[in-house]
Amino acid sequence: MPLPLLRKFAPLLASTALCIGTLASAAHAAAPSGVQKPGTITASAPLAAALGLPDAGRALRITYLSTNGITGKGLVPVTAEIILPPGPAPKDGWPIVAWAHGTVGVDDSCAPSLNPYSDRNSTYLTTWMKRGFAIVATDYQGLGGPGTHAYLDTRVEAYSVLDSVRAALTNVQGLQNKIMIVGQSQGGGAAVATAAYAPTYAPELDIRGTVATGAPYVTPELLGDLLKNAAHPDAGYSPLVDYVLYLATGLAGHDPHFRPEEAFTPKALPFYRKAAHECLTSLSQQTQAAGLTLHNTLQPTFLKAISPALKGMEFPTLKLAQPLFTGTGTEDRDVPPALQLGLVKAACAAGSLVQAHLYKGLNHSETVNGSLADSAIFTNEVMTGQPVPPQCNPVPQ
């Protein structure tokens, strides 16, 4: 069996009793069906050092049960990583960063727990770890587990994040129920969704605040205006080409009524089919080489064809129970600032405490680590119960 597949299925092949409190090196099998509920760990194995964070302590790759976010009922297996800081845990345990990752693709081989961290994400999460946080990082439903990943579906993402934290708190010693939800790009939206669903879905979790960079916020109006401008015949390649291909692929996995030919041109249809199996770096290289642009990719009926997926991107509420930090780069071309500032505006209007930051000259990727100094101040405030200064109209800094 090829190594990537072996890594993928190793947790599912684990044997005997569940005893993760000691983070033992042996793998473990499914818990008895009578006690299975969201957050139940069914398998675990040590995470390969090459797939973890530098200078970390003990680390696991787990399979846990989560409520099916597509249907809203039933349990599905989802995979995740749990990475602890080095050394002994503090008296009350390490607080948790629930990490929601950005776009990687929709194929199982793209799951973050099967791949090394990028230099950017390694730097970012290691900084959080050095702040004293353990990292709990879900792959999301359908990535690394059965079924298609419903890309950008907020309920799918939120349930996956919340149940990964439940799994960690219930089964791993040295953690405390104090949680920061942190995400970037797709994960920025997932982080906001997690904060929105948490009070009703997982009220027992003590979430202190949310940090979201590059977070998408899509309404038909915002998306229509964006596509109208970005799909101009003279416009070149946009990363949005790859994202809409993944959005459609995720929709097709659970909606038999979706018709890709109503969304994409004949030129783009071969790449729609590739998107189901290609991770982001590879897909992006291929779409750019083929000269795909939004203008020659999307049919005039695209928005209608994709409308069920857009419905799945909606947040249940934007009146969040805890403060929200947002970071936006002025040069972001992956999630244009108009979409991110639309989220800020809507969350502020809903009554959330929002601290928005706008970083002059930074692109989508650069904003992740560029926001660390500001998010450190915000995190200290929410973790210690200090007032958080709101900022709903950020100016470039």
Tokens coding 274:
């590739």
Interacting residues of 44 by C-beta distance below 8 A, sequence separation 6+: 11, 14, 20, 27, 28, 60, 61, 62, 63
> Does residue 272 sit within a domain?
yes
Residue-wise pLDDT tens digits, 302-334:
999 999 999 999 999 999 999 999 999 999 999
Find the helix packing angle between 280-289 and 240-252, rounded to 10°. 120
Rounded Cα distance between 46 and 260, Å, is 40
Q: Is the pLDDT of residue 18 over 80?
A: no
Q: Is the pLDDT of residue 158 over 70?
A: yes
> Does residue 281 sit within a domain?
yes
Q: Which one is predicted more confidently, 223 or 214?
A: 214
What CATH number is associated with residue 364? 3.40.50.1820
* Per-residue model confidence (pLDDT) at position 228: 72
| Total tally of structural domains belonging to the chain | 2
Same domain, 125 and 174: yes
Domain boundary among 268, 283, 312: 312
**DSSP states of 213-253 as a string?**
ES-----HHHHHHHHHHHT-TT----THHHHHHHHHHHHHT
Same domain, 260 and 364: no
Same domain, 205 and 248: no
> Does residue 394 sit within a domain?
no
For residue 394, name the pLDDT band (cuts at 50, 70, 90): very high
> Does residue 389 sit within a domain?
no
Same domain, 244 and 203: no
Same domain, 176 and 284: no
Same domain, 199 and 228: no
Q: Is the pLDDT of residue 179 over 70?
A: yes
Same domain, 169 and 262: no
285 conformational bin, left if phi > 0, alpha if psi -120 to 50, beta if neither:
alpha
> Does residue 391 sit within a domain?
no
Q: Is the pLDDT of residue 300 over 60?
A: yes
Same domain, 208 and 227: no
* Per-residue model confidence (pLDDT) at position 35: 67
Domain enclosing residue 305, as ranges: 220-312
Q: Which one is predicted more confidently, 18 or 70?
A: 70
* Per-residue model confidence (pLDDT) at position 36: 87
Residue-wise pLDDT tens digits, 337-393:
999 999 999 999 999 999 999 999 999 999 999 999 999 999 999 999 999 999 999
Vertex 202 angle, CA 201 and 205, to 5°:
160
Q: Is the pLDDT of residue 32 over 90?
A: no
* Per-residue model confidence (pLDDT) at position 113: 97
* Per-residue model confidence (pLDDT) at position 227: 74
Q: Is the pLDDT of residue 34 over 90?
A: no
Same domain, 261 and 333: no
Same domain, 294 and 328: no
Q: Is the pLDDT of residue 225 over 80?
A: no
**Mean pLDDT, to the nearest integer, of 53-77?**
97
* Per-residue model confidence (pLDDT) at position 46: 97
Residue-wise pLDDT tens digits, 72-121:
999 999 999 999 999 999 999 999 999 999 999 999 999 999 999 999 99
Q: Is the pLDDT of residue 6 over 80?
A: no
Work out the burial of residue 297: count CB atoms within 10 Å of its CB; fewer than 13 is exposed, 13-18 middle, 19 or more buried. Answer: buried
Q: Is the pLDDT of residue 193 over 90?
A: yes
Residue-wise pLDDT tens digits, 235-262:
788 899 999 999 999 999 999 999 999 9
Domain boundary among 312, 334, 363: 312
Tokens coding 368:
């992740």
Q: Which one is predicted more confidently, 8 or 273?
A: 273
> Does residue 152 sit within a domain?
yes
* Per-residue model confidence (pLDDT) at position 220: 76
> Does residue 390 sit within a domain?
no
Same domain, 102 and 41: yes
**Mean pLDDT, to the nearest integer, of 274-302?**
96
Same domain, 127 and 250: no
CA end-to-end distance (rounded Å), the chain: 51
> Does residue 259 sit within a domain?
yes
* Per-residue model confidence (pLDDT) at position 245: 98
Q: Is the pLDDT of residue 28 over 80?
A: no
Domain boundary among 259, 282, 312: 312
